[in-house]
């Protein structure tokens, strides 16, 4: 049996009409084109990441999950619904506005075969001055109002815009109408799903020169008109060595921490731990090994890893199952 150790993966990069080259700032070797998404830890038919380091190098997350199961990934991991790793971790480069979109929950009858709903959260890594996102509906917008606005081409008047800066965080439960806009780079922690319903896309062509598909009826069906439980917060008020909870959902808990020196922690048998390095650099150490880390890297720590340390000066996100 392979001794468990922190896993780093080769990202799966996705070209998007709204993407560009900003992920290069993290030292990532991205392919040519308008790269909008780096799937950093992924176990999905549309993208599966493979291990870069250690004894399991070259194996996909799907293979490792099948081979090591709950011992490595934790007793809380349920693989019954679609036999996949439960979370999907991304970095997004938004050089242009994303489509205005909404995600269904797990119970929506229109879900594609084998897919889950999608609850997610964003942490803003970088934002140009004045950059905005769309985050929910304006007060009083009903299904009828939204449908009429879509038909008349005035949907933007129904949407809430929020100006963002680095360090802001947004929890986006299923049913929240939302869109990242031009000038932001974010880390995204989400349910392992690739189900998105577009309700508006600025009448622009896709990468193939044709208009991208909209999903008006599904969007209207799954939108939470009375509020979805979405929350946002500033996160610049924490000091070193303490965790600030950014999001708590039925699917993940995400916390932010500041590393200054050495910080000792331990995994628990009930869940894996995922680290996203937002800023800075240092060393990740555990019994039996160590490896350097730097901004933009993501690591999956098996549930049975035990004691480990983060050393250096950095800002990190820690995610695990509730």
Identify the CA nearest to 163 among candidates 150, 142, 180. 180
Residue/partner pairs of 115-118 with CB below 8 Å, 24 or more apart = 115/82, 115/193, 115/194, 115/195, 116/81, 116/82, 116/191, 116/192, 116/193, 116/195, 117/174, 117/191, 117/193, 117/195, 118/174, 118/190, 118/191, 118/193, 118/194, 118/195, 118/196
Alpha helices in the chain (DSSP H): 61-73, 143-152, 216-222
| 50-51 and 9-10 beta bridge pairing | antiparallel
> Which residues have CB under 8 Å from 284's CB, separation 6+?
6, 275, 290, 291, 292, 293, 299, 308, 309, 310, 311
Q: Which two tokens stand for residue 56?
A: 């399991």
Active site residues: 198
Tell whether residue 34 is among the known ligand binding residues: no
8 Å CB contact between 200 and 134: no
Distance CA 74, CA 128 (A): 39
178 is in an annotated binding site: yes
Please check if 313 is assigned to a binding site: no
What sign results for the dihedral spanned by CA atoms 141, 143, 146, 148?
negative
- The residues pairing with 105 across neighbouring beta strands, listed in sequence order, are none
DSSP-assigned states of every residue in 205-252: B-TTSSBPPP-HHHHHHH--TT----EEE--TT--TT-EEEEEE-SS-
Q: Which residues pair with 320 in a beta bridge?
A: 253
Residues of each annotated binding site for Zn(2+) = 103, 120, 178
């Amino acid at each position: 049996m392979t001794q468990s150790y922190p896993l780093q993966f080769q990202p799966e990069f996705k070209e998007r009409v709204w993407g560009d080259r900003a992920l290069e700032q993290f030292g990532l070797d991205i392919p040519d084109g308008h790269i909008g998404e780096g799937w950093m830890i992924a176990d999905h038919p549309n993208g599966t990441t493979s291990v870069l380091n250690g004894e399991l190098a070259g194996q996909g997350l799907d293979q490792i999950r099948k081979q090591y199961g709950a011992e490595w990934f934790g007793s809380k991991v349920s693989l019954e619904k679609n036999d996949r790793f439960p979370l999907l971790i991304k970095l997004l480069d938004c050089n242009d506005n994303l489509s205005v979109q909404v995600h269904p929950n797990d119970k929506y009858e229109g879900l594609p075969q084998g897919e889950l709903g999608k609850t997610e959260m964003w942490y803003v890594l970088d934002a140009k001055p004045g950059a905005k996102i769309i985050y929910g509906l304006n007060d009083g917008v009903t299904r009828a109002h939204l449908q009429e606005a879509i038909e008349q081409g005035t949907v933007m008047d129904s949407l809430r815009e929020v100006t963002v800066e680095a360090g802001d965080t947004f929890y986006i439960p299923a049913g929240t109408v939302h869109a990242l806009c031009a000038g932001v780079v974010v880390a995204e922690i989400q349910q392992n799903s690739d189900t998105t319903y577009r309700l508006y896309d600025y009448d622009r062509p896709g990468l193939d020169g044709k208009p991208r598909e909209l999903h008006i009826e599904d969007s209207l069906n799954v939108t939470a008109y009375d509020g979805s439980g979405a929350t946002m917060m500033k996160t610049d008020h924490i000091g070193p060595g303490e965790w600030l909870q950014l999001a708590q959902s039925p699917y993940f808990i995400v916390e932010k921490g500041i590393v200054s020196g050495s910080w000792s922690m331990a995994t628990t048998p009930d869940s894996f731990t995922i680290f996203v390095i937002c800023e800075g650099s240092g060393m990740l150490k555990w019994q039996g090994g160590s490896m350097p880390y730097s901004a933009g890297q993501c690591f999956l720590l098996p549930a049975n890893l035990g004691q480990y340390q983060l050393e250096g000066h950095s800002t990190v996100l820690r995610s695990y199952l509730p």
